[in-house]
Chain A
Amino acid sequence: MRRAAPALALVLVAAAALAQERAIPLDQLKSGSAFLGADLLSLQKDEFANPGMLWVERGEKLWSEPAGRKNLSCADCHQDAKSSMRGVAARYPRIDAESGKLLNLEGRINLCRGRRMGAEPLRYESGELLSLTAYLARQSRGMPVEASIAGAARARFDAGERAYRLRRGQMNLSCAHCHETSWGKRLLSETISQGHPNAYPVYRMEWQTMGSLQRRLRACLSGIRAEMLPYGSPEYLDLELYLAWRAQGLPVETPGVRR
């Protein structure tokens, strides 16, 4: 046991060093929008025609609509989201100090609803949750993704990296096989992207609607014929944190438009 301790420490240090090393250097990061065709790129940039703006606008209305037992709205505590929420989404997922839990934006909205408003949580992929999430993320548009992996987040980050590198499903692929070592290559008519989360929730043509990052993760799992986990599961949250760290410095693009 005593002999094992230094060896264990060494392994931990090595693991930490490994995790800090970036498979894709920061100056080579490319947002998903860099892999879009001209049409979808111009649609994303079109402030009016970007269909995701329908959700952003609804989110703006929901922001000041009272809900729950306490009949409070988000705006009652946070006032104008345009100033109070500026830059907030860019720092998610993050650890909630009160509960010690790792939260993504959706989780934070639902925690606020439960803890402060006495309201029921909103369901993943519901119009309400997508709209509020899109509205919040929109307030960080253009700001660099900057998730913290210090302190309590560290263990979740490490778990996220393990999830990222785990081979899964009938195709026996990990996230890294496509998005780390094969990005830029062709897969049928598509170009594989680096798999960054900086434009979520996105309006995806495949879905013909808005969807969360977790829906995209499920779509990837379905693509490699692996088991899809339920929405909100801890493994997805860990993965979201790892993805956010991986995308450090990329600008928030919400609402993104994707294939």
Chain B
Amino acid sequence: MRRRRFLAGLVALPGAALAQVDPLDPLVWVVTNGAPVKKGKVTVTLPQLADNGNSVPIKITVDSPMTEADHVKSIHLYSEKNPVRNMANFYLGPRAGRAEIDSRVRLAGSQKVTAVAKLSDGSFWYDTAAIVVTLSACLDES
């Protein structure tokens, strides 16, 4: 079952990442319950090129006033090619003041990274960023 879901994910994502987030992707479904995910409001910032996939800086921001009435509830981060595709989930609220997260991620090769944000009005928004991850020139078995 796990393997089948994993394979399904692999098939679903490449096309999906190009155009839009596939609401049928099981990893997205558990967040959205099938609701549409629109492009916009979210910005994923990655370097265009990473020297090493072990630690890549990432910034996710969501355009939101972060008030009681209108705020980001959560941000879900997906990798196209990592063995574990749901890299992280961040839970915010009006107390955050600003919907912005910085972190460093592992990326198994060149790929697209997608962030889906859940807003307090129940809508879902996403952005995708592409990155080239280069390989080390020398063997290192130290």
Interface set of A (CB-CB < 8 Å, partner B) = 37, 39-40, 43, 187-190, 205-208, 211, 215-216, 218-225, 228, 259
Contact between chains at B139 and A222 (CB < 8 Å): yes
> When the two chains form their complex, are residues A205 and B142 in contact, meaning their CB atoms are under 8 A apart?
no
Give me 6 other A-B pairs in contact (C-beta within 8 A), A187-B137, A219-B141 excluded.
A39-B47, A189-B135, A190-B137, A219-B140, A219-B142, A225-B139
Residues of A near B135 (CB, < 8 A) are 188-189
B52 within 8 A of A: yes
Query: Which of A40, A188, A190, A206 is the one whose CB lies under 8 Å from B140?
Result: A206
Chain B residues contacting A218 (CB-CB under 8 Å) are 142
**What A residues does B136 contact at CB under 8 A?**
188, 190, 206, 259
In contact, A40 and B51 (Cβ under 8 angstroms): yes
In the complex, the answer to whether A188 meets B51 with C-beta atoms within 8 Å is no
Bound complex: CA A224 to CA B141 (Å): 11
B contact set with A: CB distance below 8 Å: 47, 49-52, 54-55, 57, 134-142
Q: Distance (Å) between the CB of A33 and the closest chain B CB?
A: 13
When distances are taken between beta carbons in the complex, the residues of chain A under 8 Å from B138 are: 187, 219-220, 222-224
Q: Check A189–B142 contact: CB distance below 8 A.
A: no
Determine how close the nearest CB of chain A comes to the CB of B134; give it in whole angstroms.
4
CB neighbours (8 Å) of A259 from chain B are 51-52, 136
B contact residues around A228 at 8 Å (CB): 141-142
Contacts A/B (CB < 8 Å), 24 sampled: A39-B47, A39-B50, A40-B51, A187-B137, A188-B134, A188-B137, A189-B135, A190-B134, A190-B137, A205-B51, A205-B52, A206-B52, A206-B136, A207-B140, A207-B142, A211-B142, A222-B140, A222-B142, A223-B138, A223-B139, A223-B140, A224-B138, A259-B51, A259-B136
- Tell whether, in the assembled complex, residue B51 and residue A208 are in contact, meaning their CB atoms are under 8 Å apart: no
> Is there an interface contact between A205 and B55, defined as CB atoms closer than 8 Å?
yes
Task: Please give me the residue from chain B that is nearest to A187 by CB atom.
Answer: B137
Which residues in A have their C-beta under 8 angstroms from that of B49?
Answer: 37
Q: Determine which residue in A39, A215, A218 has the highest number of CB atoms from chain B within 10 A of its CB, and name it.
A: A39
B54 to chain A, nearest CB (A): 5
Give the residue name and chain of the B residue nearest to A216 (CB). B142
